[in-house]
Amino acid sequence: MKNKRRHTPKLAKAIIKSTSGTKFTKLFWNNSDNALLYKKIPLNYFRREAIQGGLDNGCDIKAIKKYIKNAKSILEVGAGYGRVLNHIIKNGFKGKLFALEREPKLCRFLEKQFPQVQIICADIRRFITKQKFDLILLMWANLCDFSQTEQLPTLKNISSHLNTMGFLIFDLTPVNCKIINATNDDQYNKTMQTPYGENYGYFPSLNEIDQYIQKLNLFKKEIITYTTKTNKKRNLYILQKD
């Protein structure tokens, strides 16, 4: 008996016409579509992407060193293969370190590599714990892995796990910055081509980010602009819970 070929459902599409008359294709996706891709991607690919993006030297972690130093407990959301964890530990952090990752194969890898870190295998969209943290990190533009409609609810769930006066820090590439291997579906939705499939991203506008902050009832402490090893500008948004 021959094996039946699995049918991979395609994302819903719509042809949109802008006010200028230009037509573009709009994809309807969510974070679960990206989750299917991450199951296929090997660890070495993530490492190569970090090198290509100029983040392998931990320049983003160096930029927020003072916040890491003052925290007694840190949660990294979307820990991946452990790039951020590695740099936090190398910088001498002695507090309680937690990492949340959804993909089981990555969780198993993190548990072996970082026995001093408490690894939580869960989806941040549905993650609930009584544990509160002084600092929560959402690095490497991980927020963009969530669609426009998912971003605010995801940030709300993340910020609900902050201690009073705790900090939420998320990293974003400027909207007008060219993304490697990306095509535009519209101004903010981007599709990143990989050898293992398409990775979808939504890059919020400055106005949307301000709306997020207002609705989260967080205080915008500062925005840190840093430069990667490959000379790309990125922004770190530092939000604090009153």
pLDDT, one tens digit per residue, over 14-67 is 444 444 444 444 568 999 999 999 999 999 999 999 999 999 999 999 999 999
Residue 5 included in any domain: no
101 strand-pairing partners:
121
CATH number at residue 207: 3.40.50.150
Residue 3 included in any domain: no
The larger pLDDT score, comparing residue 191 to residue 7, is at 191
Residue 6 included in any domain: no
State the average pLDDT over residues 76-91. 97
Strands 233-240 and 162-172: antiparallel
Residue 103 included in any domain: yes
Res 9 pLDDT > 60:
no
| 178-182, long-range: CB < 8 A, 24+ apart | 179/203, 180/52, 180/53
Domain of 124 in residue numbering reads as 12-240
Residue 46 included in any domain: yes
Q: What's the burial of 21, exposed, middle or buried (CB within 10 Å: 0-12/13-18/19+)?
A: exposed
Query: Amino acid identity of 48?
Result: R
Res 4 pLDDT > 90:
no
Find the angle CA(53)-CA(67)-CA(34) to the nearest 5 degrees: 40
The total domain count for the chain is: 1
pTM of the complete model beyond 0.85: yes
Residue 1 included in any domain: no
pLDDT for the residue numbered 11: 55
Residue 7 included in any domain: no
Residue 212 included in any domain: yes
pLDDT for the residue numbered 27: 66
Residue 123 — pLDDT band, cuts 50, 70, 90? very high
Q: Rounded to an integer, what distance in angstroms lies between the CA atom of residue 104 and that of residue 150?
A: 22
